[in-house]
Amino acid sequence: MAYDEILYSAADGVGTITLNRPDRLNAWTATMENEMRRAISEAAGDEEVRVIVITGAGRGFCAGADMGGLQKIDAKGDGRKRIVEPGEEAEVSFDNENGPSVMEHFEGRFGYMFECPKPILAAINGPVAGIGLVMTMFCDMRFASDTAKFTTAFASRGLIAEHGIAWLLPRLIGSANALDLLMSARKFTGEEAARMGLVNRAYSGNELMGEVAAYARHMAQMVSPRSMTIMKRQVYKSLFQDFNNSTSMADAEMQKSFASDDFKEGVAHFVEKRAARFTGR
């Protein structure tokens, strides 16, 4: 596919999406949003791709919504051009063969990322704000440059916690930390984000992409893609279940795993002391 505001490449089992408006710190636009939807759908449908990485071109990750659109909004909200109007979203289609669907729980702009059957990793290489930060919370894991600047930004624009961040952020870092970041709209670094648990790990700027690439390749080559799909959906589905229902779902999925090719391969490569050759089946 041809893209205008992102770059997409695939190698070694990893599909990499790069937000590509470096002169605007990769500020979010309707074009960028739809192209990312298309690229994630493309990666999800490619059997050679097992992990997806999202990062930014240049010195930034995503500076939030392009300010040009915000300047046109009046007191009634008229003049606001949504990033993507309802009905204009690029179609996203995923294979739901493995594991339970989670779409009923995650409607809205980025919910499809939780439904994507492949793990999505954010490599936050520089400044990230507003909708850009929200988008990373729909990634399954986040890694950052230790000096990258983060901000929720909404309160400093006279806005509120949008796009599901009021639900997601407390579950990642607790209510007190979430309210701190939301109400103050203060800037904080990737190092602090790691201490809070907002990102999995922070690396020095010149190490970030190499570390994320190595981790993504490990996932692509060393573990079952079928297992990753089901575990991802188990975790997000379990957020809405009690312990008993979550365990019952796991018991049912485990029985299906016993009949899978990846289970047979998982045992065989261990016994035979060789590299795994998982197929995702």
Per-residue pLDDT of the chain (281 residues; tens, 9 = 90+): 789 999 999 999 999 999 999 999 999 999 999 999 999 999 999 999 999 999 999 999 999 998 765 544 545 554 444 556 555 677 787 877 788 899 999 988 999 999 999 999 999 999 999 999 999 999 999 999 999 999 999 999 999 999 999 999 999 999 999 999 999 999 999 999 999 999 999 999 799 999 999 999 999 999 999 999 999 999 999 999 999 999 999 999 999 999 999 999 999 999 999 998 999 89
CB atoms within 10 A of CB 201: 16
Q: What is the DSSP letter of 274?
A: S
Round to the nearest angstrom and report the end-to-end CA distance of the chain: 27
What pLDDT shows up at residue 80? 46
Whole-angstrom distance, CA of residue 206 vs CA of residue 208: 6
Q: Are strands 128-129 and 141-145 parallel, antiparallel or unpaired?
A: unpaired
pTM of structure: 0.92
- Helices of type H across the chain: 30-45, 67-70, 112-115, 130-137, 165-173, 175-184, 190-196, 208-222, 225-238, 243-258, 261-271
List the strands of the sheet with 188-189, edge to edge: 128-129, 149-151, 188-189
